[in-house]
Chain A
Amino acid sequence: MAAVPSDVATKRSLPWLGEFLATERQAWIFVFKCMLAFYIAAWLSMLFQLEQPSTTMITVSIVMHPHSGMVLAKSFYRAIGTCAGSLVGLLLMSAFPQQRELFLTALALWVGICAGGAVLYRNFMSYGFVLAGYTAAIVALPAINNPYNVFDSAMMRVSEVMLGIIVAGLISDTVLPERLRQVLRNAARSHYAHFIEFARGSLGGAIPRAKMEEAHLHFVRAAVQLEDLRASVIFEDPEARARSSRMQLLNLRYMAAATSFQSLHHLINRLQRNNHPRTASALIKLYAPVGKALSPPAAERAAPRSLATRLEACEAELPPLATTLREGLRQDPELLLEFDSGTALLYRFVSELRDFAALEAALRETQGRLKGSAERVDFKRANDYAAPLIAVIRTFLTMIALSVFWLWTGWPFGPSAMLLATIFSGLMATSPTPLVATANTWIGYAAGMIAAYFVVFGLMPGSDGFTMMVLTTMPLLLIGPYLTTRNATLPGIGAGYTLGYVYILALKNPMVYSPEHFFNDAIASLFGLMMCGVAFMIIPTVIGTEWLRRRQLQQLRRQVSFVATAPMEGLLYRFESTNRDLFHQIVQFTQPNSAESRTLLAWGLAVHDSGRAIIELRQDIRHADLPPPLCEAMQRAVDALARLYDAPDRQRWKEADGAVDHAITLTMQTLPQMRATCQPALAHLLQLRTALRDDESALGPYIVKATEIPHAT
């Protein structure tokens, strides 16, 4: 009886203890899984009489990762990478059996390309490229003095690497697995709840710019994270695979609704700033029913289905309310136009939100496959080719330098150095701080080798049999995976330690004890690792540098000209996803709240706003029955905007503003004759103008005030 309250009391008084135990538990589960994978891999490779069980163990140490769950996805790409790498190794061997120079150049090129691929594909596919380079190197390098044996040696190496991949994948997937699907579900629900909460909380209408930017950042991260998770979960869970296209559609609706919401708020904010509080408050009043629909009674708050029905009911309420509010306004055509564009945005937002909630409800309510077919949408990634290209060049030069050194000195351990350089130039190329990471890994690697020295020459000679081997090697091997789970405080050390330990242990059956080989190999691999670091010093990485950010910002602005010219098919999703992916990459390495990150955010919002409005406008031009001169004027406005975003300056801003203004005037002249077709186009044009003249946006510095005056009168 007494034990229970005291237990509760300790839990309350020591909250850090619970947290500490939870993280420790995670860490030790990972260590346990690693050990299981290591020794099962070693045992199986000895059972199958593979030549070098150590290759299997090295592969396990490269492949095991605390963020489990994506294992199957990773294994899939890794297996492909291994096959490709070994084929290339064989091909190189058969193409240049007598030509060491050509052979090494070609190998360096291949390894470089693989490192570039690892940078280009930032998700779990990047490991596949690392393994492709690594396998080619381990297949080809040892066979260089003995080309007749290359096929057998290639088969052995591939079997060893594959065995490592399979064992690591199986262990991570079956032993105490961490289900990514649950993570995805939780993430999707929390983003949904956050978005609804945000839309409800802005009942007053006015959100400060800073908060809006923060929210934008959150929406961007959420969309990219959901897509990343979805892409991995489909490998893990066939049920998710069947629902995959719906999840993509859900993400699209989420992004679209978020964009409309932001545009609406910019409009309201601007109206308030420009002393039109009545128009702004009319829009806020119009928003009130939406806010009410979004706050259902507490009992059914969580259910998206009821939210969707409430929003649908609310949609019917809006038009009459809009008419009454419009009559109450001062009959200034300019202000009425602003109000109309606000109403159009609000309608769009509500209908998108309703679609979003309805789809979320459908996904939550049904198990397994959903009936009917969904629109196919694809999350487009934005790739910049500068960073991968630099990685290719850097790795190529590293490998060439090492090969030249090896050939000139006739160093017998050259291959070891090259192998290590291959592994780490691929792994480190994606890091924003490769120098620090390499230095840490180097320290870890050296520590691992020292530990292995004691094990190999102190403990192992006296042991006998597999059990004794496990008992002697395990205590010091444990440290590596444990340090890997502490990657936040000691980045790279754990991975280096594990790899160094396993590499130099060079487990064999029967074991070979050769101190001079041990030391030569140790020095060679440390040298290779160091060369890798030197290469990062000479050709620094561009990931996370200001130069790359500027480049990516340019690319982000180009998105506007992209939406102005690209074919309309599936354009919306391409725009929304590329935009977010790009933006995510740009802000990843900026300090939060710094001046730079604020500018970037402002640009992100501006591109988002205008891009979306341009898409809608182009849809109007295409589908609505507009008179040709009107279409031309609109097209001119779109082109002028695209030019402005390509290279913003005052002159172009003036041109764009003039073109948009001209289109608006023309549309207003035709408005009385064909209200139905012109109204939406007009709303989108107005939205473009709002975005253009928003003096708090990124375009602020380019605004020429003079044009505002004749217009306002």
Chain B
Amino acid sequence: MNRGDLIAPRVAFGKALAEAGNIYKDLVVFDADVCASTQTQYFKDAFPERFYQSGIAEANMVGMAAGMAASGATPFVSTFAVFLAKRAADQIRVSVAYPKANVKLNGAYGGLPTGKAGATHSSVEDIAVMRAMPHMQILVPADPVETRAAVMLALETPGPVYLRTVRCPVPVILPENHRMIFGQGLELHAGQDIALVSTGMMTPKTLAAAEILAKEGIKARVIHLGTLKPLDNQIIIKAARECGHIVTVENHSIIGGLGGAVAEVLTEHYPCRQTRIGFPDIFMESGDDEAIFSLLGMNTENIAQKVRTILKTKKEIK
């Protein structure tokens, strides 16, 4: 995978899982009839004897995975984020998170992009639900390279992990040898006029916005938080201290996701102005992904414009 390549993270996920199957002999995969969409098909083809089809029954799927984990397996449970994190929320809570079962969860089709499926399928609040669950560790990779790294990190780490993968193609921004570390954010672009803190597929857009702004003489720091739990508090506090204003950017509701998590850190450790870019407490609707992102002020130009407005207002106040 080379910088700039457009690859769907779901495909990177599927291939990484099949690759991991060779390394982890106890890795088994559960699917609720969406393997062709979430791309666990790759694992199914490579290791049919370790692939479990639950049918469209997410609650039972999560429970079976927890039972297998209790007897020594490392199950990766995969279905659409919207159903995994909410329809099976209680099963994840009681059978996975509470006993620290070694179950990995792939919340596929995270956020808006679902192929125009609309409100019922666009997962706007899965991270909020997973974040509030004790023992849960959360990975929201930026690009296809980091998606592969996230699969490997999830498997290396004992206990429950929620990994969010994305359907639409996303440009590669990280080097092939990139490794993810829990609780460690990444500074992707230097600057101290303002700090843009992003996660998941919004990171490439945010980085592109910072590059546009750089040409205008605006130095925006870009921080990518790929591990939302545990969170890299220090990198957020440092950004607040040095940049004075933080803009969070996420493919999720502004409630309870990255925006909420960063606000919690700032309020307790270093209060500073924050602007949240994300879904404004609404359900999504059918339509072209980019059209909806634009409508909600979430495309690259929107992000750049938001920064210009913030900095202009700041200047006027001064």
Chain A complexes with chain B? no
